[in-house]
């Protein structure tokens, strides 16, 4: 049997038995097409500078690889991107060496692994990364090898083994669940579900038994939203499911390696500063001249056709925080439906330390997508929650969306987004395949009625946001 056919068979089986639970309590009420989400109180006492330092050198992953073992291979070149000093002086920006609770130095990834990227050669913290992570590779085997190396090098009761234990155990299992069908999409929430699969709800310790079963056969992944939108948002994540206290939601990556809720509490205290830092980030300015004569026309069209969902910009800045029902926006529903029907994450989270201890946060999956702020939209290609569309021109003209495409090397300033190459088929790691479940490029046809000239004017206006 041909491999691709076999894959299709598995997929068909998977979706046939994939019945959706109905969610009476999560239904949209009166105005069911778009639901404004109200703000919740947040801790505002953080120090942004301290938050940045913690983000790039802090101990929030909890455990990691013994630094001595990897130092000579990894810490080889002066860190001229983050300009870190001390133990991180020669580290790549996506990795951090830090002190484990037992005093040894360990290394792990940091938030910028996924939330840092380059624009025209310049590093931008908070830009969803592409290219430093390729989640289409299965890295579980690398971890198995790493586990063996650590065991060979360090004695069973050594501090190094202790400081590696949780990190090694959890990653060896989790990485097998997050292999994406192609590069350029990020499986962060699947990773999260794998990290908490064996964690005790109330004290976060690692237990033998799984809380639920995850499906290895197919990985749903998403784009990475830019951090400069964060300060406008009342609910986090594409489907608005991140509610309540944001410090707890921001520290999710620490479920990779923390020992227990006591460690998590200390991290949460530092995340008061991280929250303050992320709130200071501004969108990068459009770097080349714009056609001034088109902007006022674009603005008028935008305010007429787009503002009700995406807000207004400039002097009267207002962002309505609207969740738009799947039936209205009609972009690929699978991401939202996955969370609202298979509630591993919500069930665990809401009953866990994160949901039960102060300050409380919770996960409330909704059958819709947030209409995101559009500040700096020129820099955030590809578009939609699933990264399915390479340019804003194609967001605003559904007929121009490529079915199979590969990212080019440059930004396309005219079409606003990435240069891309249209392909004739998918089925390989380099090509985005919009025919796969969860990766569709349909819906959001709000720009289809524009004339070419009107569309051009709206794009010109978007450059100024």
Site for ligand HEC, rule CB under 6 A: 34, 60, 109, 111, 113-115, 186, 188-189, 191, 222, 224-225, 227, 229-230, 233, 236-238, 250-251, 253, 274, 278, 305-306, 308-310, 324, 328-329, 331, 369, 371-372, 374, 377, 380, 383-385, 392, 395-396, 444, 446-447, 458
Please identify, using beta-carbon distances, which residue of 160 and 458 lies nearer to ligand HEC.
Answer: 458
Quick count: other Cβ atoms within 10 Å of Cβ 19? 8
Instruction: Give the angle subtended at the CA of 269 by the CAs of 264 and 271, to the nearest 5°.
Output: 90
**Least distance (Å) between residue 258 CB and ligand HEC:** 11
Q: 316 burial class (0-12, 13-18, 19+ CB within 10 angstroms)? A: exposed
CA-based angle 293:294:297, to the nearest 5?
115
Rounded CA-CA distance 66/413 in Å is 44
User: Exposed e or buried b for every residue in 245-275, given b needs 16+ CB within 10 A?
Assistant: bbbbbbbbbbbbbbbbbebbeebbebbbbbb
CB burial of residue 105 (10 Å; 0-12, 13-18, 19+): middle
CB of 321 to ligand HEC, least distance (A): 11
Place of tokens 């090509």: 431
Q: Report the nearest approach of ligand HEC to the CB of residue 401 (Å).
A: 12
Q: Smallest distance, Å, CB 1 to ligand HEC? A: 34
- Report the residue number, 58 or 66, with the smaller CB distance to ligand HEC: 58
- The answer to whether the beta carbons of residues 351 and 439 sit under 8 Å apart is no
Q: How far is CA 76 from CA 73, 92, 313, 447, in A?
A: 7, 9, 44, 49
Residues 6+ apart with CB under 8 A from 332: 384, 385, 386, 388, 438, 439, 440, 441, 442, 443
Q: For residues 331 and 350, which CB has a smaller minimum distance to ligand HEC in the complex? A: 331
d(CA 310, CA 369): 12
Tokens of 125: 């913290």
Separation of alpha carbons 446 and 310, rounded Å: 12
Q: Sign of torsion, CA 444 448 450 451? A: positive
Would you say 60 or 154 has its CB closer to ligand HEC?
A: 60
Of 159 and 429, CB closest to ligand HEC: 429
CA distances from 323 to 28, 346, 350 (A): 10, 18, 21
* Least distance from ligand HEC to the Cβ atom of residue 292, Å: 19
CA angle 241, 238, 447 (to 5 degrees): 140
Which of 154, 204 has the CB closer to ligand HEC? 204
Q: Which is nearer to ligand HEC, 154 or 219 (CB)?
A: 219
68 vs 442, beta carbon nearer ligand HEC: 442
User: What's the min distance (Å) between Cβ of 335 and ligand HEC?
Assistant: 7
Positive or negative, the CA dihedral 123, 129, 131, 134 is positive
CB-nearer residue toward ligand HEC: 111 or 150: 111
Q: Which is nearer to ligand HEC, 82 or 154 (CB)?
A: 82
Q: Which of 426, 262, 275, 398 is nearest to 329 (CA)?
A: 398
Indicate the residue among 164 and 238 with the shorter CB distance to ligand HEC: 238
Under the phi-then-psi rule, with left for phi > 0, alpha for psi from -120 to 50, and beta for the rest, what region is 313?
beta
| CA atoms of 223 and 229, how far apart (whole Å) | 14
Give least dist CB 152 to ligand HEC, A.
Answer: 28
**Shortest CB 224 distance to ligand HEC, Å:** 4
In whole angstroms, how close is the CB of 73 to ligand HEC at the nearest point? 21
Question: CB–CB of 106/146 below 8 Å?
Answer: no
Shortest Å, Cβ 71 to ligand HEC: 22
CB of 316 to ligand HEC, least distance (A): 18
State in angstroms the smallest separation of the CB of 124 from ligand HEC: 14
Closer residue to ligand HEC in complex, CB, 238/362: 238
């Amino acid at each position: 049997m041909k491999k691709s056919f076999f894959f299709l068979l598995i997929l068909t089986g998977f979706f046939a038995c994939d019945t959706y639970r109905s969610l009476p309590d999560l239904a949209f009420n009166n105005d069911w097409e778009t639901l404004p989400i109200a703000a919740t109180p947040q801790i505002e006492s953080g120090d942004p500078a301290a938050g940045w330092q913690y983000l790039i050198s802090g101990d929030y992953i909890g455990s990691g690889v013994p630094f001595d073992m990897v130092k000579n291979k990894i810490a080889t070149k002066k860190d001229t991107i983050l300009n870190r000093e001390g133990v991180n002086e020669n580290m790549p920006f996506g990795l951090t060496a830090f002190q484990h609770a037992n005093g040894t130095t360990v290394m792990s990834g940091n938030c910028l692994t996924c939330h840092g990227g380059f624009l025209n050669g310049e590093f931008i913290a908070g830009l969803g990364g592409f290219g430093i992570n390729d989640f289409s590779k299965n890295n579980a085997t690398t971890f198995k090898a790493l586990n063996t190396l650590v065991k060979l090098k360090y004695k069973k009761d050594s501090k190094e083994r202790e400081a590696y234990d949780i990190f090694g155990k959890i990653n060896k299992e989790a990485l097998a669940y997050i292999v994406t069908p192609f590069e350029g999409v990020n499986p962060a929430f699947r990773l999260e579900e794998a990290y908490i699969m064996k964690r005790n709800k109330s004290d976060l310790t690692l237990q033998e038994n799984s809380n639920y079963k995850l499906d290895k056969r197919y990985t749903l992944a998403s784009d990475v939203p830019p951090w400069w939108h964060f300060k406008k948002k009342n609910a986090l994540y594409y489907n608005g499911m991140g509610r309540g206290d944001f410090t707890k939601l921001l520290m999710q990556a620490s479920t990779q390696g923390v020992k227990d809720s006591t460690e998590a509490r200390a991290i949460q205290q530092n995340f008061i500063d991280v929250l303050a830092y992320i709130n200071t980030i501004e969108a990068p300015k459009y770097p080349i001249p714009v056609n001034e004569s088109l902007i006022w026309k674009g603005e008028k069209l935008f305010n007429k056709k787009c503002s009700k969902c995406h807000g207004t910009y400039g002097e009267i800045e207002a962002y309505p925080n609207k969740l738009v029902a799947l039936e209205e926006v009609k972009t690929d529903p699978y991401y939202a439906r996955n969370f609202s029907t298979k509630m591993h994450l919500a069930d665990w989270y809401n009953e866990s330390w994160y949901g039960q201890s102060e300050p409380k946060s919770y996960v409330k999956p909704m059958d819709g997508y947030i209409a995101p702020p559009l500040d700096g939209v020129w820099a955030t290609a590809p578009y939609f929650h699933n990264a399915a569309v390479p340019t804003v021109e194609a967001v605003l003209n559904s007929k121009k969306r490529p079915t199979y495409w590969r990212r080019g090397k440059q930004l396309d300033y005219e079409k606003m987004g990435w240069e891309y190459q249209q392909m004739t088929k998918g089925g390989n790691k380099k090509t985005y395949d919009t025919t796969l479940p969860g990766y569709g490029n349909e819906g959001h046809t709000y720009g289809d009625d524009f004339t070419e000239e009107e569309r051009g004017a709206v794009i010109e206006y978007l450059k100024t946001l």
